[in-house]
Structure 1
Amino acid sequence: MSGRLTLLKALLMKRHQVTHRAFCLEYDKAARSIDRSLVGSSPSKEAFNRWLNGRVRTKPHSDHCRVLERMFPGHTVAELLAPYDPGTNDPSTRDTRPNLQEATTNRREVFHLGAATMALGLTESLTRGPDLLEQVLDTRNVSEGRLTYLEDAADRLGERVVKTPPTDSLSTTLVHLGSIRELLAHRQPIEVQRRLVRVGAKLSLVIGEIMFCANQWPSARRWYTSAARAAEEAGDRYLADIALASAAYLPTYSADPQGVLSHVMPRLESATNATPAIAWMWGFAAMAHAALGDRAAFERTNHKSRVTLERCAADMLRPGIFSFQPEKQAFYEARGWADLGEAVGAEDAATRALVAFDPALTSNPALVRFSYATALAKAGQVEQACHIASAAIHDPHTFPTMAVVLRAHEFDALLTRAAAPPTIQWREALAGLRSPDFAVAPHRNG
């Protein structure tokens, strides 16, 4: 488009909102009515000026489009950014009532557009197109709204990845990570650079979680390593500790307790502050000592994990993969007691965990039940153990992550081959759980 006056500018002039500050205030009001997460995502001053003067060659980011059309009902984004002609699109005479025939035609065109894009292999271009445009617009100066949007998106993904099938978050995470990479390819102010790298670390942790759950453990290890490096570059010690703790999943679920201790103890020996990440690593150490049969060491490190959490500020104990909550500490405690064959301790810790856990989580409640079932099986209470383990699989929220599948098979290995009804019912439930592919599990050295 040329540098002519656009309909958007004409409408804003009528409302006396043509300055960037006035526009952003109205933008946030409209954004809040759509989705509170969009507040603060207004365009940069440079982008806003391009909108006003008709110098945009492609449509803005999809979120911008949603807000603009909410701000100006009856106008499409294409119309708002088109050159203003008082004879045809005078904002004072525009009939904003919907044209049903036009709407029907638009729906038909959208349907055919979707078919055409799939046939031509352009789906990814449509999906990433708005984001790529944002990257170009942000090349020289990333707006505060854009930075906040990316930071909030990473935090939401960190919570979402444990509440929905993990792979559901993969495409969105990769798109945002692509934005971060593109923005970091250009020189940014130091503080902006630090914030972008920090977001990259969080997104890498989300992908590491997804890869771990999907049994792609070598890939998960690489993502965890990248996350730790990015966090260190951003100067974020806490996030680097979260990456270190996350990587402890690999030796833990490889039945390599010595590998767990080698992984976390050097950091724990030098830790001075109480953070959820440090408490998480103490929890991994406790499970490792229990797996080795060292009850005294388990009790000592489990106490360290619990006390460290109690010393943390309440606002640090958040849901999702960027923190460690008391219910997860109780889950790890239940697993430790189970490995030590202590049914009473496992029951107490499992009860505390299940009461506090969000029942919609995809794996942790199931893993707690397997821990308790394991303790009961070791105590000879097979019928109750099978009932609890079967309930873990039948729970509609349970998703067969790699951890869930491994713990289910470990529990099954404790049972005899006797054809007792509880065992038969359990194995019928287990048959519906996809077996893990041990061929791509990590090496024993974790």
Structure 2
Amino acid sequence: MSGRQTLLKVLLTKRHQETHRAFCLEYDKVARSIDRNLIGSSPSREAYGRWLKGHLKTKPHADHCRVLERMFPGHTVAELLAPYDPVGKGSGVHDMRSDPREAATKRREVFQLGATTLAIGLSESIWRGPDLFEQALDFSNVGEARLHFLEYEAARLGQKVPPPSVLPEALLHLASIRELLAYRQPTEAQRRLTRVGAKLSIVVGEIMFCANHFPLARRWYAAARRAADEAGDLHLGDLALTSAALMPTYSADPRSVLATVTARLEHAVGATPAIAWMWGLAALAYASLGDRTAFERAISRSRNTLERCSADELQPGILSFQPERHTFYEARGRADLGDLNGTAEAVSRALASYDNGASNDPALVRFAYACALAKAGEIEEACRFATDAIQEAPPAGHSITVVVRAHDFDALLTPTGAASADWREALAAIRAPDPAILQTMSPLRT
């Protein structure tokens, strides 16, 4: 074989990756997207030198071939390791051609279905096949249509509290983004992909939180913050931080809530839904601690911040904060402080705003009023409101938030009494979500 430079060397030179170290870094990045076991399998310096000069008598190892053809879509290994011909495309490496069966396998790898079938089974290959094919097409320059689709999907999944059934879908899109980010994308495309990844991480974190899997929820929210920081999106990072503050809110740990949000609020400039949300959670924490003055200040800051937000910022779902959610926080805070009249007024406003059946919030609003009634000694009316709260479950069922508030209310009642008999029967019928159910979900069951 001639000692002229190979097509591989020409392509690597154009990418400024012709040194052995630079090549191995890119090799491992691509190998990770195929099979994590291939990481670290890059060629030695001597073998790499032979690849660049075309000093080869036999074809490289099959794993090397897989990675090389993924690194340079549209080129076979024979073409890459043949002497470079700037005029034609002939390889001149006749002894390196594959037999027909091997060539068929390579064609399947271009579509990335064959390798996926071997790795994760036929059913998931069918589920991910189109997505994997698009990954090859978007190798290092993701198209506008693909970006728009992923952005649309993140917004759609965040439009409401996501039920567990959308978890496989969210994870599929995250896998797509993760694989696209493994390659060098143009700067703006990289930023947009990272923002979508942050939003989808919040969606997955919300599913984990509602399913009573706080450790995983905490990790997903942290990943969302990291992605938001990487994309330079402060508001999205604030949303992830606020979402993480929900866990101590529903774990009776108000001081941890304040530790989570106070530092950010002290440096907040401008009005965003996330900042309004943080003030609302701070208000709940102060009410739980019995600090009425701090509660009034925080709930007022939450309201004023919301009023300064533009209408298109106040979207429904978990990627924003809505006036009705603020009103719910006001109702719960006043209930915790024993303000029955203030709670009743806020509950009336909140229930008039919510679309019953769309989320767990209406049930939480009713529990706020039930708690206020119980503290005022109106047990029968309190139990009626609490029973209604349990019976009005959304289609996806009760989240951990409703279960926690149900038991908070029950703790306010005396162990015996006819007035609470119906309530205790309703309470016995609900259970905390079992996080193990998430492990049984398959993409084909969504």
Q: What is residue 400 of structure 2 aligned with on the other side?
A: 402
How far 1:298 moved relative to its partner?
0.4
Cα distance between partner residues in 2 of 1:130 and 1:197:
21
Matches within 5 A, 1:11-410: 121-160=121-160, 162=161, 166-397=163-394, 399-410=397-408
Secondary structure of residue in 1 paired with 2:277: helix
Separation in 1, partners of 2:322, 2:286: 21
**How far off its partner does 1:435 sit?**
3.9
Do 1:276 and 1:325's aligned partners in 2 also have CA atoms closer than 8 Å? yes
Give 1:122 deviation, angstroms: 2.4
Partner SS state of residue 158, structure 2: helix
Displacement of 1:225 after TM fit?
0.6
Q: Which amino acid counterpart does residue 192 of structure 1 have in structure 2?
A: A
Between the aligned partners of 1:121 and 1:150, the Cα distance in structure 2 is: 25
Tell me the distance in 1 between the aligned counterparts of 2:107 and 2:152.
Answer: 27
Q: Closer, same or farther in 2 for the Cα pair 1:255/1:430, shift >3 Å?
A: same
The aligned counterpart of 2:51 is none
User: C-alpha distance in 1, partners of 2:369/2:111?
Assistant: 53
Contact kept, 8 Å, 1:59 with 1:130, in 2: the verdict is no
Structure 2, unpaired ranges of 5+: 1-72, 75-105, 436-446
Check the 8 A contact 1:373/1:389 in 2, yes or no. yes
The 2-side partners of 1:57 and 1:223 are apart by: 34
State the alpha-carbon separation in 2 of the partners of residues 141 and 211 from structure 1.
33
The residue aligned with 1:414 is: 412
Deviations 1:294-337 (A, max 9, x none): 00110011000001000111110000111000000001111101
TM-score by length of 1: 0.70
Residue aligned with 1:415, SS: coil
Between the aligned partners of 1:237 and 1:125, the Cα distance in structure 2 is 37
CA distance in 1, matches of 2:182, 2:351: 45
* Aligned amino acid, residue 374 of structure 2: A
Report deviation, 1:436: 6.5
Aligned length: 325
Change (3 A) 1:193 1:390: same
TM-fit CA distance, 1:254: 1.1
Distance in structure 2 (CA, Å) of the matches to 1:56 and 1:359 = 52
Q: Distance in 2 between matches of 1:344 and 1:139?
A: 61
Using the TM superposition, give the Cα deviation of residue 58 of structure 1 relative to its aligned residue in structure 2, in angstroms.
Answer: 9.5
Contact preservation (8 Å) 2:360, 2:393: no
Letter in structure 2 aligned against 1:291:
S
Tell me the residue number matched to 1:40: none
Deviation of 1:392 after TM superposition, in Å, equals 1.1
Instruction: Identify the range of structure 1 (267-276 vs 124-133) with the bigger mean alpha-carbon deviation.
Output: 124-133
Cα RMSD after superposing both structures: 2.3
Post-superposition Cα deviations, 1:189-225, rounded to whole Å, max 9, x if no partner, equal 0000000000000000001101111111011111111
Identity of aligned residues (%): 60
Distance 2:132 2:406 in 1: 43
Q: Identify which range, 125-134 or 200-209, moves more after superposition.
A: 125-134
Offset of residue 362 of structure 1: 2.8
Q: Which moved more, 1:369-378 or 1:192-201?
A: 369-378
Question: Structure 2 counterpart of 1:404, which letter?
Answer: V
2:38 matched to which residue of 1?
A: none
Question: Quick one: distance in 2 between partners of 1:324 and 1:59?
Answer: 44
Alpha carbons of structure 1 residues 146 and 430: separation in structure 2 relative to 1, 3 Å? same
Residue 358 of structure 1 and its aligned partner are, at CA, apart by 2.1
Counterparts of 2:144 and 2:366, CA distance in 1? 45
After superposition, the C-alpha distances for 1:229-279 in whole angstroms (9 at most, x for unaligned) are 100110101100101111110111111111111110100010111010000
The whole-number CA distance in structure 2 between the counterparts of 1:267 and 1:387 is: 40
- State the alpha-carbon separation in 1 of the partners of residues 320 and 109 from structure 2: 40
Q: Flag the 1:300–1:140 CA change in 2: closer, same or farther, 3 A.
A: same
**Amino acid of the residue matched to residue 173 of structure 2?**
H
Matched residue of 1:159: which SS? coil
Report the CA distance between 1:59 and its aligned residue: 12
User: In structure 2, what is the equivalent of residue 71 of structure 1?
Assistant: none
| SS at 1:368 equivalent | helix
Q: How many Å separate the matches in 2 of 1:435 and 1:267?
A: 32
- 8 Å CA contact 1:406–1:436 kept in 2: the answer is no
Paired position in structure 2 for 1:13: none
Q: Distance in 1 between matches of 2:366 and 2:128?
A: 41
The 1-side partners of 2:432 and 2:315 are apart by 32
Answer yes or no: is the 8 Å Cα contact 2:357–2:392 preserved in 1.
Answer: no
**TM-score for the superposition, normalised by structure 2:** 0.70
Separation of aligned partners in 1, 2:290 and 2:363: 24
* 8 A Cα contact 2:292 2:337, kept in partner: yes
Q: Which residue of 2 aligns with 1:34?
A: none
The match for 1:427 is 424
Shift of 1:347: 1.2
**CA separation in 2, counterparts of 1:436 and 1:412?**
18
Counterpart residue identity of residue 280, structure 1:
W
Deviation at 1:418, TM superposition (A): 2.1
SS in 2 for 1:187: coil
Structure 1 unpaired stretches of 5+? 1-45, 48-54, 62-116, 439-446
| Residues 255 and 235 of structure 1, relative CA distance in 2, 3 Å threshold | same
Larger Rg: 2
Structure 1 position 168, deviation (Å) = 1.1
| Compared CA separation, residues 349 and 56, structure 1 to 2 (3 A) | farther
